[in-house]
């Protein structure tokens, strides 16, 4: 009898300790670091990452691709996610983009690797959109190492953390997000 009570107590403690281990969503959106060796990126430095004004996630219609966008400018998520017409009009504005791709399956919570490769399951990549000329430019950060993690995802929101870099170490991005999701018609 004593052994079964002890075993039950240990099982309950183990179960409860596991509940506390689940990672919580970040409270705020932030970029801890974003660097690039690109000439276009260098031309707009230094950028101020201390205040994220606009943030959101944009999903394709099938749900197999998700862009998380963080910016110091005041933009709508559909505008931040657009790679053809960039809303950036000032030298000090930026849009950081963390891309999550799960091949032909819907995006789910979990760890996405930069090393997975283009369009592979659980692949992460990153880009920065910065001011250049009248149209702005999308600068690939060329990340091939590190991870981007979706901690929690619902139909309306997503949260997580990212720490991605290239092999040379001259391009990198890290931070966290807790944003609403908007779904594309496409």
Given this model, what pLDDT does residue 14 score?
A: 38
The answer to whether residue 176 sits within a structural domain is yes
The answer to whether residue 136 sits within a structural domain is yes
Residue 182's pLDDT band (boundaries 50, 70, 90)?
very high
Residue 87 has pLDDT above 70, yes or no: yes
Given this model, what pLDDT does residue 49 score?
A: 96
Tell the residue number behind the tokens 């999550």, with chain if given.
100
Question: Looking at residues 31-50, what average pLDDT do you find?
Answer: 95
Q: Which domain holds residue 82?
A: 28-183
Tell the residue number behind the tokens 């931040």, with chain if given.
80
Q: Which two tokens stand for residue 80?
A: 């931040």
The answer to whether residue 10 sits within a structural domain is no
Given this model, what pLDDT does residue 22 score?
A: 58
Q: What percent of the chain has pLDDT over 70?
A: 88
Question: Looking at residues 116-127, what average pLDDT do you find?
Answer: 95
Given this model, what pLDDT does residue 73 score?
A: 96
Mean pLDDT: which of 18-22, 104-108, 133-137 is highest?
Answer: 104-108
The answer to whether residue 6 sits within a structural domain is no
Residue 186's pLDDT band (boundaries 50, 70, 90)?
confident
Given this model, what pLDDT does residue 20 score?
A: 39
Q: What is the total count of domains within the chain? A: 1
What is the DSSP code (8-state) at residue 115? G
What is the C-alpha to C-alpha distance for residues 141 and 95, in angstroms, rounded to an integer?
A: 12
Given this model, what pLDDT does residue 133 score?
A: 82
- Contact status, residue 154 vs residue 135, Cβ threshold 8 Å: no
The answer to whether residue 3 sits within a structural domain is no
The pLDDT tens digits for 141-160 are 999 999 999 999 999 999 99
The answer to whether residue 14 sits within a structural domain is no
The answer to whether residue 7 sits within a structural domain is no
What is the C-alpha to C-alpha distance for residues 186 and 15, in angstroms, rounded to an integer?
A: 43
Query: The whole model's pTM is what?
Result: 0.87
Nearest to 175 by CA among 83, 73, 121, 97: 97
The answer to whether residue 102 sits within a structural domain is yes
Residue 11 has pLDDT above 90, yes or no: no
């Amino acid at each position: 009898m004593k052994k079964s009570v002890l075993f039950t107590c240990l099982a309950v403690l183990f179960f409860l300790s596991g509940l506390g281990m689940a990672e919580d969503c970040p409270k705020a959106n932030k970029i801890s670091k974003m660097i690039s060796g690109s000439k276009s990126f260098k031309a707009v430095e230094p950028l101020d990452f201390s205040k994220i004004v606009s943030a959101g996630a944009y999903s394709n219609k099938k749900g197999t691709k998700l862009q998380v966008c963080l910016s110091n400018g005041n933009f709508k998520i559909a505008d931040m996610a657009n790679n053809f017409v960039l809303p950036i009009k000032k030298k000090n504005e930026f849009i950081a983009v963390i891309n999550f791709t799960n091949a032909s399956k819907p995006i789910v919570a979990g760890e996405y690797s930069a090393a997975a490769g283009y369009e592979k399951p659980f692949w992460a990549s990153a880009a920065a959109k910065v001011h250049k000329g009248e149209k702005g430019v999308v600068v690939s950060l060329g990340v091939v190492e590190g991870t981007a993690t979706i901690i929690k995802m619902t139909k309306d929101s997503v949260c997580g953390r990212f720490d991605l870099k290239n092999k040379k170490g001259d391009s990198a991005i890290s931070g966290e997000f807790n944003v609403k999701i908007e779904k594309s018609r496409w």
